[in-house]
Structure 1
Amino acid sequence: MAYSAEAFQNEFLPLGGTEVSAIVTVTSTGSATGRRTSGATEVIIVDASGSMQAEGRMAAARQAAKAAVACLDDGVHFAIIAGVSTAQQLFPAPGQLAVSSPQSRADAIRSIDRLQASGGTAMGAWLKLAAQLFAQRPGDIAHAILLTDGDNGEHAGYLEKVLESIGGNFQCDCRGVGTNWKVAELRKIAGAMLGTVDIVARPTDLTAAFEQMITNAMGKTSADVQLKVWTPVNTTIRYVKQVEPSVVDLSGKRVEDGPRAGRYPLGAWGDESRDYHVSVQVNPGAAGDEMLAARVSVVEGDDVHAQCLIRAVWTDDSGLSTRINRQVAHYTGQEELADAIQAGLEARKAGDEHTATIKLGRAAQLAHESGNDATTELLSTVVDIDDAVTGTVRLRRRVEAADEMALDTRSTKTVRVGRASS
């Protein structure tokens, strides 16, 4: 794998200016041969609680899990967990991992027919068992799918405690089927585990969703890529966020790495490109002063694959200091867009129509300005957009729960500068 890193910023600060912002684009190439730098382990977690019997969800989940197993590459280690009030390993034998082959995949597919809906929902226990299985293969590209249709039934704080103990050990993509699950709950899991969250409103769409997640996972060739950020004395990192393909705040995941440096986990990589917003706090300088505000490196272990620099130059020329870098402006707007949607939906649920209208109107305006057509389309299911330019909207009186949840789960998906979403 080959990596590149490029920083986009306006390095000029006004006199007294202390905040430096840059968008760092990281691109990786060379995985097309399919050769992984380490092994791969996949765990499929299927909610088998009693509620999954409704609307054909259990039958659809069985079909989706079979399709996911069929997509596994030969040599990948894998397991299937049936999620009820406890975590029950469906395949292979408890505590073991299977090695993907035509025979083991056929055996796993037969075992999935035993999945029956009964019992409760215990996501913390499911994730804890997955973590124990992944621990058998340290250094592997570790990926899990978690499917559920309801609320977590464990006692308050247990899920959070599990996430705190296993966060970063593997990536977990979460999908909610139907409309009786909580977006915030799955977003919490996905955020801690560097994964994604989305709604599958119709059980018949589960197979395609599972196939896509497994196919994406099989395309990863590097297990643990990190962003290492070094700053000089009297300089601190305000935050580091992934801003494309979705908004994920990585600030709380920082691990210190020597004097004035920290690492931020980026998860597994294949051939792809992602954007990160790095914000640095510096001491103000005089006109003409220049400094290196941060050095950003793409690393795996002790290997440095790429580097770029974030600079600060103070000037009394307002024409230079007030010029906003296009990438920084775009992603600042995308971050605000996600916050506006989530705040607007919360206000709507609380019956605060005034705040909901203002927030969702601002969201419509930001989506229009950035060319985020997918988000504009999702917004139009919750509000009538009278004028996207000014953000003039009217709340819809009747909104389908699935449409509202789709807007919520996909609020953090972003588009690149000048690129319409697909």
Structure 2
Amino acid sequence: MANFSKPNGPRFSVEVYQNEYLPEGGREVNAIVTVTATGGGTVGSAVAAPHMYRPGAPDAAVALMVDCSGSMDYPAAKMRGAREATAAAIDTLRDGVRFAVIAGTHVAKEVYPGGGALAVADTRTREEAKQALRKLSAGGGTAIGTWLRLADSLLSRADVSIRHGILLTDGRNEHEAPEDLKAALDSCAGSFTCDARGVGTDWEVKEVTGIASALLGSADIVADPQGLTEDFTQMMESAMGKEVADVALRLWTPLGAELRFVKQVAPTVEELTDRRTMVGPRAGDYPTGSWGDESRDYHLCIEVPNAEVGQEMLAARVSLVIPQADGSVQTLSQGLVRAVWTEDMAASTSINPQVAHYTGQAELAQVIQHGLDARKAGDLDGATAKLGRAVQLAGALGNSDTAKLLAKVVDVVDEATGTVRLKAKVADSDEMTLETRSTKTVRVKKS
């Protein structure tokens, strides 16, 4: 395991957890890769003293996209909550951070500072931005792709290391075609990260989670507008804690080996397999976005060529890399995945605890999604079976938060066997919360 650190920045490490032993004829290698960034010093400091200048703190730019469509006035608490939450987020900006506020309807409009510019956060500009927020009113439709494109245009003008968006919506993206939103997301991917929030219960979960997934951010529901201020403050504190951007997971595999999948499995399940950018005949990069003081887990599955008992090989080299101005990359840390063929059945059939845990977590996220989709489609038997399996997995994996959310959608008869009954009546907010948070996982204790 190699490590990297930079002055005033986090130190990165890569750890690999696997059972490297394969039986005769075995070809599938699974590994959990834990990437940890520590010692940057920004996370926490932003909470204690958000405006304080710190030498070495990264340059950053943030675009706040606020839904101002007509539905934000029903009830009026949504628009009021959005204004107050955005003001709180602005108060959390660190001095020197560039920022802009965008009003989103069927078109995107600059609220502050305007003129295609970004403001530089200080006492004066924060107060001016909050004054501009007070003039926001609801009216018009919803075309989120236009909001994202304007945010990208503004953020791309800043010569900064961290570019971040925060997006709030309360409704479905009804005033542009789905392919227009996808095109906007494809255009913005890699330019900035974005956290997305749905307020109330009239928005589409898959749209909001899809935005966050494409732009490597978080997604969540704020069912009660009164919760927006706390949520926005936490999101901005997290954004202010990011110190290194454009970090990629680089995977090299030997001749004859094939990478079957790459998934982030903690703190959320996120499929990365199709996001590969080739960087050589047997190497590819997978985007991970921006990092502060944090740790994430990734599940790799590699199919290796067959070999004789007693042989061993390097199944994959895992590197964390960051691009440099001259077009090269700097390696932040590295880990190795091995394959060893053995006649020892006890060794080759043992499942690594980390691999087993996260395989279950990925299945949990999947069966919740399938169960809720079946419920919406009227397939009650299918929904019962899938959500019953979800209850069983949540209990076995110790995912108590997900278990509590499931209990609002089904009556649990027997957790151990996954025996449940669908509730006759479920609040929209409970069903949407379960769907939105279905990919959140719990960490496995590593030994």
CA contact (8 A) 1:36 1:221 kept: no
CA contact (8 A) 2:68 2:79 kept: yes
Q: Which 4+ residue blocks in structure 1 deviate beyond 6 angstroms?
A: none
* TM-score, normalised via structure 1 length: 0.97
CA contact (8 A) 1:45 1:81 kept: yes
Tell me the CA shift for residue 180 of structure 1.
Answer: 0.4
Equivalent residue number for residue 5 of structure 2: none
Verify: 1:45 aligned to 2:54, yes or no: no
Please list, as runs of the form range in 1=range in 2, the aligned pairs for 1:4-403 lying within 5 A after superposition: 4-32=13-41, 38-55=58-75, 56-153=77-174, 154-301=176-323, 302-403=329-430
Corresponding residue SS for 1:306:
strand
Tell me the CA shift for residue 188 of structure 1.
Answer: 1.2
Equivalent residue number for residue 47 of structure 2: none
Separation in 1, partners of 2:115, 2:286: 34
Give the letter aligned to residue 87 of structure 1. Answer: A
Separation in 2, partners of 1:8, 1:236: 19
Separation in 2, partners of 1:172, 1:242: 17
In structure 2, relative to structure 1, the CA distance for the partners of 1:208 and 1:37 (3 Å cut) is: closer
Corresponding residue SS for 2:280:
coil
Separation in 2, partners of 1:340, 1:317: 35
Equivalent residue number for residue 50 of structure 2: none
In structure 2, relative to structure 1, the CA distance for the partners of 1:44 and 1:212 (3 Å cut) is: same
Tell me the CA shift for residue 285 of structure 1.
Answer: 1.3
Corresponding residue SS for 1:198:
strand
Separation in 2, partners of 1:138, 1:356: 49
Corresponding residue SS for 1:89:
strand
In structure 2, relative to structure 1, the CA distance for the partners of 1:261 and 1:170 (3 Å cut) is: same
CA contact (8 A) 2:213 2:270 kept: yes
Separation in 2, partners of 1:371, 1:155: 41
Tell me the CA shift for residue 137 of structure 1.
Answer: 2.2
Deviations 1:139-163 (A, max 9, x none): 5211111100001020241101111
In structure 2, relative to structure 1, the CA distance for the partners of 1:139 and 1:14 (3 Å cut) is: farther
In structure 2, relative to structure 1, the CA distance for the partners of 1:179 and 1:65 (3 Å cut) is: same
Aligned length in residues: 419
CA contact (8 A) 1:229 1:297 kept: yes
Note the aligned Cα RMSD (angstroms): 1.3
Deviations 1:229-274 (A, max 9, x none): 1111111211111100000111222111123111111111111111
Q: Which moved more, 1:73-82 or 1:279-288?
A: 279-288
Separation in 2, partners of 1:6, 1:138: 33
Give the letter aligned to residue 401 of structure 1. Answer: D
Separation in 1, partners of 2:194, 2:117: 19
Separation in 2, partners of 1:375, 1:417: 15
Corresponding residue SS for 2:191:
coil
Q: What is the percent sequence identity of the aligned residues?
A: 53
Corresponding residue SS for 1:257:
strand
Corresponding residue SS for 1:157:
helix
Separation in 2, partners of 1:198, 1:25: 24
Separation in 1, partners of 2:97, 2:160: 13
Separation in 1, partners of 2:226, 2:138: 17
Give the letter aligned to residue 343 of structure 2. Answer: D
Corresponding residue SS for 2:412:
strand
In structure 2, relative to structure 1, the CA distance for the partners of 1:35 and 1:286 (3 Å cut) is: farther
Deviations 1:201-233 (A, max 9, x none): 001111111001001111111122111111111
Give the letter aligned to residue 95 of structure 2. Answer: D
Equivalent residue number for residue 49 of structure 2: none
Deviations 1:28-63 (A, max 9, x none): 112115665641011100000000001210011001
In structure 2, relative to structure 1, the CA distance for the partners of 1:37 and 1:64 (3 Å cut) is: closer
CA contact (8 A) 2:190 2:246 kept: no
CA contact (8 A) 1:37 1:223 kept: no
Q: Name stretches of at least 5 consecutive residues in structure 1 with no aligned partner.
A: none
Equivalent residue number for residue 413 of structure 1: 440
CA contact (8 A) 1:38 1:223 kept: no
Separation in 2, partners of 1:174, 1:222: 21
* TM-score, normalised via structure 2 length: 0.92
CA contact (8 A) 1:27 1:273 kept: yes
Q: Name stretches of at least 5 consecutive residues in structure 2 with no aligned partner.
A: 1-9, 43-53, 324-328
CA contact (8 A) 1:36 1:222 kept: no
